[in-house]
C-alpha cells in the first residue's frame, strides 16, 4: 500500500524504519506536547505492533513512513488506529519539517484513502492543549474541536487537557 501527494510518498513502515521511529520518540521538540520520553523497549513494542500488513479488519495501527519526494528521506510517520467505527489519527514529524505543511499534506491523503478505499467515515484526533501546530493540522484537514477532557494527560509531571477533534465524512 502506497500513497502519493505532490511532495510526499507514503508506505507502510518496515524494519528499516526502526531508527527514524525511535528518533521520533526521543526528539525533545517532538515530545514537548505529546508525551514523556518512553523507554526503548516500549517504543520497540509499538513499532512491532505496526509492522504487519494492515487491512480494515485489523486491530493494529496503520503506520506509514512519510518520505520527502525531493530528498527521498523519511521525515515522519502518519496513520491511524481503527476500532471498526472510528479511525484515531496520529502523526510525528522531525522538527526540521515542522510548520511546512507536511503533516497536513500527509494526513489529508491518509483520510482520503481511508474513506475512499476502506469506507471509514469517522475520524478523531486527540491533541494536548497548547499544541497549536497539531490543532492547526487537524483543523486544516477538516476536523473540528468537539470535546475537551480536562487534566487527563501528564507530561513532565504536569497535567494537561486533551482536545478531541472529530470528522464525519
Q: Which of 47, 121, 134 is nearest to 87 (CA)?
A: 121
- Entry pTM: 0.96
Q: What CATH number has the domain bearing residue 146?
A: 3.40.630.30
Provide the residue range defining the domain that includes 79: 2-168
* pLDDT tens by residue, 2-30: 999 999 999 999 999 999 999 999 999 99
Q: Is the pLDDT of residue 58 over 90?
A: no
Q: What was the pLDDT predicted at 136?
A: 98
Angle between helices 102-118 and 132-140 (to 10 degrees): 40
What distances in angstroms separate CA 66 from CA 17, 79, 127, 145, 166, one per listed residue? 10, 10, 20, 26, 23
Q: What was the pLDDT predicted at 143?
A: 98
Q: Which of 89, 96, 74 is nearest to 20 (CA)?
A: 74
How many independent structural domains does the chain possess?
1
* pLDDT tens by residue, 79-136: 999 999 999 999 999 999 999 999 999 999 999 999 999 999 999 999 999 999 999 9
Amino acid at each position: 500500500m502506497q500513497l502519493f501527494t505532490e511532495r510526499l510518498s507514503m508506505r507502510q513502515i518496515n524494519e528499516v524504519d526502526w531508527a527514524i521511529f525511535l528518533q521520533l520518540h526521543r526528539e525533545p521538540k517532538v515530545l514537548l506536547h505529546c508525551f514523556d520520553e518512553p523507554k526503548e523497549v516500549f517504543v520497540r513494542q509499538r513499532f512491532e505492533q505496526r509492522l504487519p500488513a494492515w487491512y480494515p479488519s485489523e486491530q493494529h495501527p496503520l503506520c506509514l513512513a512519510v518520505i520527502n519526494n525531493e530528498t527521498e528521506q523519511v521525515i515522519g510517520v502518519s496513520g491511524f488506529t481503527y476500532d471498526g467505527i472510528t479511525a484515531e489519527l496520529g502523526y510525528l514529524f522531525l522538527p526540521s519539517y515542522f510548520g511546512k505543511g507536511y503533516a497536513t499534506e500527509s494526513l489529508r491523503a491518509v483520510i482520503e484513502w481511508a474513506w475512499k478505499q476502506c469506507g471509514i467515515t469517522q475520524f478523531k484526533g486527540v491533541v494536548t492543549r497548547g499544541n497549536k501546530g497539531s490543532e492547526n493540522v487537524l483543523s486544516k484537514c477538516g476536523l473540528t474541536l468537539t470535546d475537551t477532557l480536562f487534566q487527563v494527560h501528564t507530561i513532565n509531571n504536569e497535567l494537561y487537557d486533551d482536545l478531541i477533534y472529530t470528522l464525519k465524512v
